[in-house]
Structure 1
Amino acid sequence: MKGSLILANGEKFTGQWQGKPKDHIGEVIYFTGMGRFQEFITDPANHGKIVISTFPGILNSDLDHAKFESDEIQIGGLITQQDASMTINEKGLKILDLFYDQNIPILTEMDTRALIKRIKKEGEMPALLSSKHTVNRLSGQMEDVHHDFGTEFINTNGKKHIVVINFGYKKSLMQTLSDSGNKVTVVSSIIDLNLMNSLKPDGLIFSGGPGNPSQWQKFFPVYKMLAMKYPTIGFGLGHQILALAFGANVEKLPTGHRNFKEAVIHTSSNKVFLSSQNHGYTVDGKDLNEIGFRISFKNVHDGTVEGLIHEHYPVATYQFHPEQANNHINELIFKDFFTTVYDSKGASVYA
């Protein structure tokens, strides 16, 4: 069966539809990786996105549920050059089967090179993925990603109590925190201050997640108040939200950073690290000192802000994400955070 991808600029690309008939509207992005595909498609930051894969054999990727960043596929659709009939998996499992089970469409035998050229020229944009290949225009709205997550108790005992504000956390973050020996609780990004006060956190983590950080604007005063009160760290979307809450500006990138080997430089040591990133927005680096921030990491390739430290409050944020495996950048991030948490000695007010 034929299917189509219709870009917001009106261009239409046709391929072979794999899956049940449906329409899906989402932002179209691309993934250049030859590995970690299972981590990428299950990353909550990709919720609803239509992903163009540049690697021609991506449907042959291995499947290991232990490496999934969430319990299900998060992307809204996949575009690949690969012929679906050529997929092979030595364990007898197929990416196609996983997509079929979760009703996520795939368009195969697509001209991915032409698509990437459009995205690089015009930027990431909304698109319609449709099994009705006669559709000739983009209509409707992208799915809202402003979720109200409930409370989860990950570790009920530990030395200190770390509370994660959940915008769409990755399992690798929970694994790192579970291994830290601390009590861990996850709460909704729609903050209940009574609940937060009853939890008596020793430190806060603003998780990563999908979407435009300005969607949470009405909560910025509360987020800022909490970050001024407790040792706080933010990743990905959480980094952007905290920056906005303190008065910074955030801009849309023409094409996002979506790589597990994105080079960043630590400004105080001039050491370069390879980081895991998946985002389409960036914090504007201008006038950050006026709101008390200094830049701790920059992107090696385009100079964009990759990390911030507040000069007056125990707040550190990172555009990149901790990895599942231990590495030097993980050690740097969490050593500083847990040192701050333990040095607070139970005091929570820093204002």
Structure 2
Amino acid sequence: MEGYLHLSNGKKYKGEFATKASETLCGEIVFFTGMTGYQEVLTDPSYKDQIIVFTYPLIGNYGINKEDFESKKPHVKGVIVYEANMQAHHYQSQYSLAEYLEKWNIPLLSHVDTRSIVKNIRQEGSMPAILSTDENVAKEDFLLVKDAKVPKVSEKIHQSYGDGKYHIVLIDFGKKESMLDGLVERGCKVTVVPYNTTFDEVKGLKPHGILLSNGPGDPKELTDVLPAVKLLIQHYPTLGICLGHQLAALALGGDTTKLSFGHRGANHPVFDKRNNKVIMSSQNHSYVVEEESLANTGCEARFFNLHDNSVEGLTHSVYPLQTVQFHPEANPGPSEGQYIFDEFIENVKANSGRVFAYA
């Protein structure tokens, strides 16, 4: 079926829908530069309600399996590729890309000039976009619903995993399953709680450490949770990842800003100042912590993105806090950053039960 991608800057692209497309939809358009990992991207809650453009020209060639989901369902609003392979070739494959998206009523537009789309986004930034069977759309159709996305993807009840010695409470802002797996594999018991769980409720669970998860949207939409986040950081060894990193910075007095088109890919070089080394990382975010805002917060930037020198992670002068903007669980992407989990466990072992103070 003939289909169209309309960008809010007036650009229009013609393609073919590889799935049913019965209605016009609008979402923020972003792009992902990895060659593989499309299944993890589709099911990453951080992509909630976004239209994702895959820059690699052939997507779907190894299908969709039952092992690599990052959540129970896909969260993207639409998918755009140059070519969608309908014949998956992999021993684990259960569905083709089109079959999987069709199941969830997510449109897949193919045979589109993805290079041109990405150039537009890089030049003018992420913007509202429309997927439609109509060749023409009205200007007022480019309307993004400004609602908090974290409540849509966060777990609604407490859930526990593993039975290890150290108890980690994972605050779920839109967690990825591989993040949870990374802790369980390291001998932790993990209790996943909703994003708006109070400090006293977490304290009642008697954790040894806290993980602030990734998630979608603007961290400043979650100002209501910042007092609880600050108390958690002040009382427990804490690891913040992606959105969790941003919320930790905001809770301690820092500030965040939106990038023009974000970082989304599996090959972003990051410099670790403490270890004096460069690692390749998996990333998916639109917002970053402003380094100049960290003065008088006790926070110090430890990791930096080597493409634009943006802050990729923090430590604190008093609290056993560590944060990273990238994804150390590495699904999809390189596993060079997984030592962050090992550092966190050592932090928990060394600081569990201590009382911290910061003036």
Q: If the TM-score is normalised by the length of the shorter chain, which range does it land in? A: over 0.9
Aligned partner of 2:337 in structure 1 is 329
Question: Equivalent residues in 2 for 1:212-227 (5 A)?
Answer: 212-227=218-233
The equivalent residue for 1:49 is 50
Measure, in 1, the Cα distance between the counterparts of 2:336 and 2:4: 44
TM-score (norm 2): 0.90
8 Å Cα contact 2:330-2:337 kept in structure 1? no
The more displaced of 173-182 and 128-137 is: 128-137
**Cα distance in 2, alignment partners of residues 20 and 226 from structure 1:** 45
Q: 1:317 aligns with which of 289, 309, 323?
A: 323
Pair 1:328–1:348, CA change in 2 (3 A): farther
On the 8 A contact 2:159/2:191 being kept in 1, the answer is yes
8 Å Cα contact 1:26-1:143 kept in structure 2: no
Secondary structure of 1:257's counterpart equals strand
Shifted more, 149-158 versus 54-63: the winner is 149-158
Secondary structure of residue in 2 paired with 1:33:
coil
RMSD value over aligned CA atoms?
2.1
Task: Verify the 8 A CA contact 1:172 1:322 in the aligned structure 2.
Answer: no
User: Could you tell me which residue of structure 1 aligns to residue 272 of structure 2?
Assistant: 266
Alpha-carbon distance, 1:123 to partner: 0.5
Q: Which residue of 2 aligns with 1:16?
A: 16
Identity of aligned residues (%): 37
Comparing 198-207 with 133-142, greater Cα deviation is found at 133-142
Give me the whole-angstrom Cα distance separating, in 2, the residues matched to 1:160 and 1:286.
35
Asked whether the equivalents of residues 309 and 316 of structure 1 are also in contact (C-alpha less than 8 Å), the reply is yes
- Distance, in Å, in 1 between the alignment partners of 2:233 and 2:131 is 40
The residue number in structure 2 matching 1:106 is 108
Residues in 2 aligned to 1:143 and 1:97: alpha-carbon distance in whole angstroms: 30
- Structure 1 unaligned regions, length at least 5: none
Give CA deviations for 1:299-322 in whole Å, capped at 9, x if unaligned.
112111011001111111100112
Cα 1:343/1:168, change in 2 over 3 Å: same
**Which deviates more, 2-11 or 136-145?**
136-145
Q: Which range moves more in the overlay, 48-57 or 166-175?
A: 48-57
Q: How big is each residue's C-alpha offset from its partner over 1:53-107, in whole Å with a ceiling of 9 and x where there is no partner?
A: 222211324322212211221211011222x5x6321357310000101100011
Secondary structure in structure 2 of the residue aligned to 1:323: coil
The equivalent residue for 1:151 is: 157
Q: 1:141 aligned to 2:144?
A: yes
Equivalent position SS for 1:251: strand
Q: Distance in 2 between matches of 1:143 and 1:131?
A: 25
Q: SS at 1:208's partner residue?
A: coil
Residue 120 of structure 1: aligned partner = 122
Distance in structure 2 (CA, Å) of the matches to 1:343 and 1:319: 24
Matches of 2:179 and 2:352, distance apart in 1: 24
Query: Which one of the candidate residues 305, 314, 321 is aligned to 1:308?
Result: 314
| Cα distance in 2, alignment partners of residues 340 and 59 from structure 1 | 40
- Structure 2 letter corresponding to 1:7: L
Alpha-carbon contact 1:175-1:324 (below 8 Å) kept: no
Q: Which residue of 1 aligns with 2:34?
A: 33
Residues in 2 aligned to 1:323 and 1:176: alpha-carbon distance in whole angstroms: 7
Deviations 1:120-171 (A, max 9, x none): 1100112122234432333433373131532333326321210000010011
**Structure 1 contact 41–74 (Cα < 8 Å) conserved:** yes
SS of equivalent residue, structure 2 residue 67: helix
Q: Does 1:188 align with 2:191?
A: no
CA drift at 1:193: 3.4
For residues 194 and 292 of structure 1, what CA distance do their matches in structure 2 show?
24
For normalisation by structure 1, the TM-score amounts to 0.92
Alpha carbons of structure 1 residues 100 and 162: separation in structure 2 relative to 1, 3 Å: same
Q: Deviations over 1:206-227 (max 9, x none)?
A: 0001111111012212211221
Residue 87 of structure 2 aligns to which amino acid in structure 1? I
**Alpha carbons 1:176, 1:324 under 8 Å: kept:** no
Tell me: CA distance 1:193–1:292, structure 2 relative to 1, closer, same or farther (3 Å). closer
Deviation of 1:264 after TM superposition, in Å, equals 0.5
Q: Report the Cα distance in structure 2 between the residues aligned to 1:327 and 1:158, rounded to whole angstroms.
A: 23
Q: Distance in 2 between matches of 1:157 and 1:11?
A: 53
